[in-house]
């Protein structure tokens, strides 16, 4: 934990829901001074009893309470209550009292078109829309059905793709070194999960069925690499969504924009009417999506992709298990709450999306960048393998100990892999003779936590 030792931020978080709790866990784990505010006294005392944070109960937009909670020393203010308006108000008030970074969660699609305007006019640092982010994560996976999870770097031009080694597949029983020789080093493996332990890829590692492997690729090259790995690279043509949540709306909108036939099953008639007027190209079914016969009638058995998006995690999981059993469709499951993660993991659900983690990743990346020195910048950060691996993209700003030195001469920490370098639009799989230069973007994959600066990856013992 390198970052925990230097300049902790003073952070106030308003709202102790799913996202709020995840943020508290992540940000306090990194050594920041976190204060939470919520209207619900019970929620506050639960959080202060579990994490090393201070809590206040009351209205997060109230001047008096914010003063009490120490807004005068705050560096970062985050509002993630249930209500968009409340979040915007909290951030506006906080921003007026103290020049601090403010982050608000805004989910309503009506605002989503005006986010830039709101952000600029209200002086917000960042507006996050978890529903939209969730939908775009889903979209990435759906556009590459062979992958379990896809994360993008370098503004979408490179990807980390997670796949599962199937029995009797090309990878089963081969070492990374042999595979690289066979394919002339076209695929760079990043990390492997086997039997609940995750490790960074090394040449002598021998794949086995059931391993969860991730590899790095520039975007245009992903499909061809999937082929090299013996995986199908087909795309989907239709998609069945259960539940008409906000993220379902965002997903349906972008899917149908690229010509995919989308069917949404939603229980609530009013919501169906809304969706139908918002999404004229989609088929909206007013029915209970947890009814087997309805699912069959709407083509679960033949659909290419199935996305359960009801508000209930338990229902989503059951629907996924049902779909896995009866159809060949690519299934993406959304799980909101952090509950029984070990059991959920053991269920073999395939691709799972955790909206609260997507939200917290963006904010944690921002907080780390605030704390780091000015030699480099965190551009993006992802938690892979249930938070056990971090993939971070740094932009190198200045000359330092790490620049202009061949990589083979750098002493890196254990469990760090320099995965990809972007230089003037080219993507380089780094070898021992390559150097890092100023203005490079570097993607590293690591099992260590808390890197906030590119210099942190050096082993400085």
Binding site for another protein (CB under 8 A): 10, 28, 33-35, 41, 48-54
* Nearest distance, CB of residue 51 and another protein, angstroms: 4
CB of 52 to another protein, least distance (A): 4
| Least distance from another protein to the Cβ atom of residue 44, Å | 11
286 burial (CB, 10 Å; 0-12 / 13-18 / 19+) is middle
Residue 223 C-beta: closest distance to another protein, Å = 41
Strand partners, 240: 263, 306
Residue (31 or 243) nearer to another protein, CB: 31
Minimum CB separation of residue 392 from another protein in Å reads 22
Find, among 153, 100, 220, the residue nearest to 418 by Cα: 153
Closer to another protein by Cβ: residue 53 or 241? 53
> Max CA-CA distance within the chain?
67
Measured from the CB atom, the residue of 4 and 294 that comes closer to another protein is 4
- Specify the residue, 1 or 177, whose C-beta has the smaller distance to another protein: 1
Closer of 48 and 235 to another protein (Cβ) = 48
CB of 27 or CB of 454, closer to another protein: 27
C-beta of 32: minimal distance to another protein in Å? Answer: 8
Kindly state the smallest distance separating residue 433's Cβ from another protein, in Å: 41
Q: For residues 127 and 363, which CB has a smaller minimum distance to another protein in the complex?
A: 363
Kindly report the backbone phi and psi dihedral angles of residue 193, in degrees, each rounded to the nearest multiple of 5, phi listed first: -110, 125
């Amino acid at each position: 934990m390198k970052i925990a030792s230097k300049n902790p931020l003073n952070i106030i978080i308003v709202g102790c829901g799913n996202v709020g709790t995840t943020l508290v866990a992540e940000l306090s784990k990194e050594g920041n001074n976190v204060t939470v505010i919520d209207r619900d006294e019970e929620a506050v005392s639960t959080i202060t009893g579990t994490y090393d944070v201070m809590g206040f109960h009351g209205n997060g937009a109230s001047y008096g309470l914010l003063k009490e909670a120490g807004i005068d020393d705050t560096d970062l203010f985050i509002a993630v209550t249930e209500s968009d308006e409340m979040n915007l108000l909290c951030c506006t008030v906080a921003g007026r009292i103290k020049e601090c970074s403010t982050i608000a969660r805004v989910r309503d699609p009506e605002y989503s078109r005006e986010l830039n305007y709101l952000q600029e006019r209200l002086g917000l640092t960042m507006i996050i829309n978890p529903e939209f982010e969730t939908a775009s994560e889903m979209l990435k996976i759906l556009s590459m059905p062979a992958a379990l999870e896809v994360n993008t770097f370098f503004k979408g031009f490179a990807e980390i793709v997670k796949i599962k080694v199937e029995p009797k597949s090309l990878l089963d029983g081969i070492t990374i070194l042999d595979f690289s020789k066979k394919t002339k080093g076209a695929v760079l493996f990043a990390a492997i999960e086997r039997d609940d332990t995750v490790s960074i890829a090394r040449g002598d590692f021998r794949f086995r069925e059931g391993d969860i492997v991730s590899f790095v690729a520039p975007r245009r090259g992903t499909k061809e690499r999937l082929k090299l790995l013996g995986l199908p690279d087909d795309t989907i043509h239709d998609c069945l969504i259960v539940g008409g949540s906000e993220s379902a709306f965002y997903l349906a909108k972008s899917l149908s924009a690229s010509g995919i036939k989308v069917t949404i099953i939603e229980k609530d008639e009013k919501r169906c009417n809304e969706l139908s007027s918002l999404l004229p190209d989609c088929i909206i079914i007013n029915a209970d999506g947890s009814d087997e016969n309805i699912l069959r009638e709407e083509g679960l058995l033949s659909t290419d992709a199935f996305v359960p998006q009801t508000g209930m995690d338990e229902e989503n999981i059951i629907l996924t298990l049902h779909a896995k059993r009866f159809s060949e469709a690519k299934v993406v499951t959304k799980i909101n709450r952090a509950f029984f993660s070990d059991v959920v993991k053991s269920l073999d659900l395939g691709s799972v999306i955790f909206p609260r983690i997507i939200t917290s990743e963006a904010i944690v990346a921002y907080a780390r960048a605030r704390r780091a020195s000015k030699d480099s910048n965190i551009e993006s950060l992802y938690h892979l393998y249930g938070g056990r691996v971090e993939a971070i993209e740094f932009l190198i700003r200045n000359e330092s100990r790490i620049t202009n030195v061949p990589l083979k001469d750098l002493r890196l920490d254990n469990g760090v892999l320099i995965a990809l370098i972007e230089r003037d639009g080219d993507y380089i799989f780094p070898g021992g003779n390559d150097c890092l230069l100023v203005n490079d973007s570097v993607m590293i994959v690591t099992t260590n936590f808390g890197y906030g600066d590119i210099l942190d990856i050096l082993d400085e013992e």
